[in-house]
Structure 1
């Protein structure tokens, strides 16, 4: 496909087809994200965080935007520091942004996990393992966590059903690892099933890393947490998708939801 498809903005996609019903895709993607969450929380204990009170389902007065925001925490020193399972959009009007993100404590340096599904109304999918070391200098870390996924990454990258999707945010491009999946695809059952398999395989791989991880030396943990918190903060606050949401919800409400989704209050407590 042409490069223009790879770099087309969400606004441009939506302008071409603003009223497509994505309810069935929402159900499929929420099922995938929920299964991923359940696999993770079966091994890594979490409890709901108070910042999610009243946000398990919300909708604007005019029905133009709706969503669900479900944050969880584990033991920040020995397990999951922050897990968020959420979606925002309009199931009847083309636009969805759905995600599961898991941020680990500094006791280990296993990459964090990010999984995103969306519709614009074409399918959008992103998933990645967020590096916690400098991949340009820490070659051992690169080979431990990223090299084993190289072939599966290249296999999906070479699948002509999927077109690479380029974020217009420079920070979001810096956020990506060498095995990040960022794709647009036509709406079809076979595409959904391919993404389901890809996501669940990656979740199982990630859980294996967590099981086998070696402890980070105690004296290095504070610096690792400080870096984690910066990456977590910027990954949410610098997302270009926030600008689209402001058109429906207003800047103040979007800032509130982004803060809750990123767990900025929890970050402040731990720093």
Structure 2
């Protein structure tokens, strides 16, 4: 099978027992630093009660371990710093994501490091308008990053990776990077530099964002919460967790990860 259409299961089957602890430490440190820089932009952020006691946890058989921490506050609905996997057996999923409030329509921030055990890098500015028809939104947020996007996309160290989930492919937009590469410090440094450049763009957009009129915020929230929920529910990676934790536990984990309680407590529609 071509590498761009291999599933996570395919990659893991080829190399199931690689110790990736060293790379977990570096990648998760990058993600945590980015989360901290985002949190500085939203000083009212507080850890959500649903994440209490989940700073570190393990599966019943000790096969998987992880952390699930998410904050919420004025201007940012759901800021996540999490990881899940087995550092001694190839598989890691590490995240720094920020789903913004409806005061602005700046794109959401999605960043994922993974090991399968090849390096996996996913990056996305999730749009909050229809960029197939809203050319002002497209040009404002995706035009300025086009050259940087193409430079990374054209780097021969990296190969495109196609999700096997049709909904996950629906989320693809002009900012989406879904890449695999050899797991080494050189390649991590390349995507690290890229991520911080994108963070500079994103924070600048927030600093100069126009306020969304009050009468548009309910509809924007409905769109935001729907995309946020579906992105977690329809991720084919969930199957890996089900094999370890079971259906009921994974359902609870997904509800926490997407911030189901935060959405339920704050929805206006």
TM interval, short-chain normalised: over 0.9
Query: What's the CA shift for 1:38?
Result: 1.3
Which of these residues, 13, 23, 37, is aligned with residue 15 of structure 1?
13
Q: In 2, Cα distance between the equivalents of 1:191 and 1:132?
A: 30
Separation of aligned partners in 1, 2:246 and 2:196? 35
Which residue is equivalent to 1:27? 25
For 1:15 and 1:248, locate their aligned partners in 2 and report how far apart those are by CA, in whole Å. Answer: 16
1:202-249 deviations in Å (ceiling 9; x for gaps): 112111101100001111010000100000000111111101111111
Partner of 1:226: 222
Counterpart Cα distance in 1 of 2:37 and 2:200: 8
Structure 1 length normalisation: TM-score? 0.96
Give the drift of 1:29.
0.6
> 1:244 is matched with which residue?
240
CA distance in 1, matches of 2:122, 2:178: 4
The 1-side partners of 2:69 and 2:253 are apart by: 11
> Partners of 1:253 and 1:8 in 2: how far apart?
27
For the residue of structure 2 that corresponds to 1:92, the secondary structure is coil
* In structure 1, C-alpha distance between the alignment counterparts of 2:53 and 2:109, rounded to whole Å: 26
Further displaced range: 94-103 or 41-50: 41-50
2:166 to 153, 167, 170: 170
Corresponding residue number in structure 2 for 1:44:
42
CA distance in 1, matches of 2:10, 2:38: 36
Question: Do 2:35 and 2:80's aligned partners in 1 also have CA atoms closer than 8 Å?
Answer: no
CA distance in 2, matches of 1:204, 1:51: 30
| Residue 42 of structure 1, CA deviation | 1.4
2:63 corresponds to: 64
How far the C-alpha of 1:61 sits from its partner, in A, is 3.2
- Rounded Cα–Cα distance in structure 2 between residues aligned with 1:104 and 1:43: 11
User: Runs of 4 or more off by more than 2 Å in structure 1?
Assistant: none
| Alignment-derived partner of residue 267 in structure 1 | 263
Q: Which runs of 5+ in 1 are unaligned?
A: none
The alignment covers a number of residue pairs equal to 266
Query: For the aligned residues, what is the CA RMSD?
Result: 0.9
Q: TM-score, normalised by structure 2?
A: 0.97
Tell whether the 8 Å contact from 2:60 to 2:245 is kept in structure 1 after alignment: no
